[in-house]
Amino acid sequence: MSLKDAITADLKDAMRSRDQVRLDTLRSVLSAFTYRRVEAGHDLTAEEMLAVVQKQVKQRNDSIAEYTKAGRSELVDKETRERDILARYLPAQKSADEVRAIVREIIAGLPADGRTQGAVMKVVMPALKGQADGNVVRTVVTEELAV
């Protein structure tokens, strides 16, 4: 079952259970799939669909941060619920310790003069694509290079 099929099935369940937040969230993802498909000019691959869901989760995280700063707790709760709904469709994320082990391994493989944050991130991000949040990776890389 593809990611789109799973989301469509869950959308039908949300309609039956009259869960409006889940329904709206899943509709927005399906709409984003359609928009991305038109933009790309071809049917989306599994990786492209996953990237769309990751982008939606990142947008929710950014909104949560902004609403928290503004003191809008009701909107923080709504965005958090939407993010949690979408996160179910993502692969399990690596913990900071798992990311740290991978970053240390990559740093050890780089020449001593090539150990800058940009150079390390350029190697680490493709290795962890879809498996870890970029902000967590950046923080770990910064900490490891400071040691």
Reported as a pLDDT band with limits 50, 70 and 90, residue 13 is very high
CA–CA distance, 95 with 136 (Å, rounded to integer): 9
Instruction: Inform me whether the pLDDT recorded for 136 exceeds 90.
Output: no
Q: What is the mean pLDDT of residues 12-38?
A: 94
137 neighbors 128 (Cβ within 8 angstroms):
yes
Q: What is the mean pLDDT of residues 1-22?
A: 91
pLDDT for residue 72: 92
Tens digit of each residue's pLDDT (9 = 90 or more) over 107-123: 888 777 777 778 888 88
Average pLDDT taken over every residue of the chain: 88
Domains of the chain and any CATH numbers: 3-87 (1.10.1510.10), 96-146 (1.10.10)
Helix (H), strand (E) at residue 61: helix 46-70
Tens digit of each residue's pLDDT (9 = 90 or more) over 42-92: 998 988 998 899 899 989 989 999 999 999 999 999 999 999 999 898 888
More confident residue, 42 or 99: 42
Contacts of 94 (CB under 8 A, 6+ apart): 102, 128, 131, 132
pLDDT for residue 78: 93
Reported as a pLDDT band with limits 50, 70 and 90, residue 32 is very high
Contacts of 56 (CB under 8 A, 6+ apart): 28, 29, 32, 86
pLDDT for residue 37: 93
Report in angstroms the alpha-carbon separations of 21 from 65, 84, 144.
Answer: 20, 11, 40
What percentage of residues in the chain have a pLDDT greater than 90? 47
